[in-house]
Copies of this chain bind each other. A is one copy, B any other.
Amino acid sequence: MIQLDARDKAILLELQQESRLSYAEMGSRVGLSPAAVHDRVKKLERKGVIRAYKIQVDPEALGLKLTAFVAIRLDNNFTGREIQPGLEQFHQIEEVHSIAGENDLLLKVRTSDTKALEALIYRIKAVPGIARITSTIVLSTALEGRPLVPGESDESIELR
Residues of A within 8 A of B (CB): 1-2, 4, 9, 12, 15-20, 47-65, 67, 69, 80-81, 84, 87-88, 91-101, 106, 110-113, 115-116, 118-120, 122-123, 136-146, 148-153, 155-156, 158-159
Interchain CB contact under 8 A, A148 and B64: yes
A81 nearest CB across to chain B (Å): 8
Contact indicator B55/A91 (Cβ below 8 Å)? no
Instruction: Report the minimum CB–CB distance from A133 to chain B (whole Å).
Output: 14
26 pairs of residues in contact across A and B, judged by CB atoms under 8 Å: A4-B62, A12-B55, A15-B55, A17-B52, A19-B54, A49-B62, A50-B58, A52-B55, A52-B56, A53-B55, A53-B56, A54-B54, A57-B148, A62-B151, A64-B151, A67-B97, A69-B106, A84-B142, A94-B148, A95-B143, A95-B146, A97-B138, A100-B136, A100-B139, A112-B153, A118-B156
A16 touches B54 (CB 8 A): yes
Shortest distance between the CB of A83 and any CB in chain B (Å):
9
Q: A110 and B148 in contact (CB under 8 A), knowing A1-B61, A141-B95?
A: yes
B4, B19, B115: the one within 8 Å of A53 (CB): B19
Chain A interface, >50% SS class: mixed
- B residues in contact with A136, CB < 8 Å: 99-101, 106
Residue contact B48 to A93, C-beta cutoff 8 Å? no
Partner of A63 from the list B106, B145, B151 (CB cut-off 8 Å) is: B151
A91 to B13, CA, bound (A): 12
Assembly CA distance A143 to B95 (angstroms)? 5
